[in-house]
Amino acid sequence: MEQKGIMLSGIKPSGELTLGSYLGAIKNWAERADQFECYYFMADLHAITVRQKPADLRRRTLEQLAQYIACGLDPERNTLFIQSHVPQHAELGWVLNCYAMFGELSRMTQFKDKSAKNADNINGGLFTYPSLMAADILLYQPDYVPVGEDQKQHVELTRTIARRFNNLYGEVFKMPEPYVPKVGARIMSLTDPTSKMSKSEDADTGRVCLMDRPEDIMRAFKRAVTDSENTIRFDRENKPGISNLMTIYSAATGRSYEEITREFDGRGYGVFKTAVGESVVELLRPIREQSERLLADKGYLESVYRAGAEKAGHIANKTLRKVYKKVGFVAR
Ligand code: TRP
């Protein structure tokens, strides 16, 4: 049998998953299960680099698992697990910390951004975040790591660390490639269409969350920022708001940009925004309903994350033992 490639990614359960998480990431992941052996996890260890309310973190971690499944990640065909359930992540993270340079970690854009935003809590974990992420990745020897543009730098650093380690000890780690989906799938904030729709955004108008009620979704789209030209055509540079709405509508309905331009020719932005809102309500309805059903069945979710951790742990352990041996630890 032909050996399948390996794919791995994770999302921090530090905020609600959004329409952007679905269209920009999870939906694409779900389409990969045929070609790849896939691992997806809730990055709870990473989430605590920023202060979390314990009860919220616990709830969001389970919600995220339910939403992964509702978005099409079939647990029979994908390994779904909680990062903290596989202790090898933290263990390899420590080792890799000793192979990541202070200067390299200091240059990470996300570290600089987050330090600026959390000036009262610039903790060690925030600084060494990329070594833990390198461990997440390298434990599974993946071919591809699907990430957003903002995480590409971390995958590059993962490669640097892996190369450094391999140069010292021989081929231990496989070189992973970042896999950044097409620009078209990048969903921007509805109120600030030049920045990414973020799951941790405070204002609730610029984003649409997977669990939002239809009336909230409609309200968010009615408030979406546009421009004063009043024609619906795709032009990311000059018409970021309308272009973002077109991307969303296209993803929700399968229509091309030309078809959308034709469909709304001579009709106002108000009509268009309502149509986009309605398409998103219908797109998310089954996901929300399925997530709610799954969340009501804690026993099932538990069986999924247990099986996931067991499978992931088995692979992770193989890599970790190899690493421990290479660096000179006495075997247990
Ligand atoms: N850092 C990623 C983010 O903020 C989440 C993440 C943690 C991740 N570990 C990973 C993504 C490993 C890909 C691979 O979104």
Atom in ligand 1 nearest the alpha carbon of residue 43:
7
Q: What is the mean pLDDT of residues 27-45?
A: 95
pLDDT at 184 over 60: no
Q: What is the mean pLDDT of residues 103-131?
A: 96
Mutate to test the pocket of ligand 1, among 6, 7, 8, 9 (most ligand atoms within 8 A of CB): 9
Q: Which has more confidence, 1 or 214?
A: 214
Nearest CA, atom 2, ligand 1 = 11
- Please work out whether the CB of residue 21 comes within 6 Å of at least one atom of ligand 1: no
pTM, two decimal places: 0.94
- Please work out whether the CB of residue 147 comes within 6 Å of at least one atom of ligand 1: yes
Atom in ligand 1 nearest the alpha carbon of residue 136:
12
Mutate to test the pocket of ligand 1, among 8, 12, 88, 128 (most ligand atoms within 8 A of CB): 12
Residue 311's closest CA among 6, 95, 2?
A: 6
Q: What is the mean pLDDT of residues 52-58?
A: 97
User: pLDDT digit string (tens) for 62-95?
Assistant: 999 999 999 999 999 999 999 999 999 999 999 9
247, 253, 255, 259: CA torsion to nearest 10: -90
- Please work out whether the CB of residue 19 comes within 6 Å of at least one atom of ligand 1: no
- Please work out whether the CB of residue 241 comes within 6 Å of at least one atom of ligand 1: no
User: pLDDT digit string (tens) for 191-208?
Assistant: 999 988 887 656 566 999
Instruction: Measure 321 CA to ligand 1 centroid, in angstroms.
Output: 23
Instruction: Measure 259 CA to ligand 1 centroid, in angstroms.
Output: 36
Q: What is the mean pLDDT of residues 112-118?
A: 93
pLDDT of amino acid 204: 60
pLDDT of amino acid 148: 86
pLDDT at 180 over 90: no
Instruction: Measure 284 CA to ligand 1 centroid, in angstroms.
Output: 24
Residue 15 Cα distances to 41, 73, 253, 264, 306, angstroms: 15, 20, 27, 34, 23
User: pLDDT digit string (tens) for 262-316?
Assistant: 999 999 999 999 999 999 999 999 999 999 999 999 999 999 999 999 999 999 9
Alpha-carbon 226 to chain mean position: 27
Instruction: Measure 9 CA to ligand 1 centroid, in angstroms.
Output: 6
Task: Judge contact between 16 and 209, C-beta under 8 A.
Answer: yes
Mutate to test the pocket of ligand 1, among 137, 154, 159, 198 (most ligand atoms within 8 A of CB): 154
pLDDT at 181 over 80: no
- Indicate the pLDDT class of residue 2, thresholds 50, 70 and 90: low
Q: Which residue has the tokens 């996890």?
A: 41
Which position among 12, 112, 182, 199 bears the catalytic label?
199
| 112 given a catalytic annotation | no
Q: Which residue has the tokens 């391999």?
A: 166
pLDDT at 212 over 90: yes
- Please work out whether the CB of residue 46 comes within 6 Å of at least one atom of ligand 1: yes
Atom in ligand 1 nearest the alpha carbon of residue 8:
14
Distance between CA atoms of residues 112 and 249, nearest Å:
34
pLDDT of amino acid 3: 79
Q: What is the mean pLDDT of the chain?
A: 95
Burial 226-261 (b: 16+ CB within 10 A, else e): beeeeebbbebeebbbbbbbbbbbbbbbebebeebe
pLDDT of amino acid 196: 87
Q: Which has more confidence, 184 or 13?
A: 13
Residue 264 Cα distances to 152, 241, 273, 318, angstroms: 36, 16, 11, 56
How many C-beta neighbours within 10 Å does residue 281 have?
20
Concatenated DSSP letters of 224-248? ----SS------TTT-HHHHHHHHH
Mutate to test the pocket of ligand 1, among 60, 136, 180 (most ligand atoms within 8 A of CB): 136
End-to-end CA distance of the chain: 35
How many alpha carbons fall within 13 Å on the CB side of residue 115?
16
- Please work out whether the CB of residue 199 comes within 6 Å of at least one atom of ligand 1: no
44, 50, 55, 59: CA torsion to nearest 10: -40
Give residues with Cβ within 8 angstroms of 48, minimum separation 6: 57, 125
| 199 given a catalytic annotation | yes
- Please work out whether the CB of residue 225 comes within 6 Å of at least one atom of ligand 1: no
Residue 5 forms beta bridges with which residues? 36
Distance between CA atoms of residues 5 and 80, nearest Å:
17
Give residues with Cβ within 8 angstroms of 46, minimum separation 6: 10, 12, 83, 129, 132, 133
Name the burial class of residue 166, with classes exposed (0-12), middle (13-18) and buried (19+) by CB atoms within 10 angstroms of its CB. middle
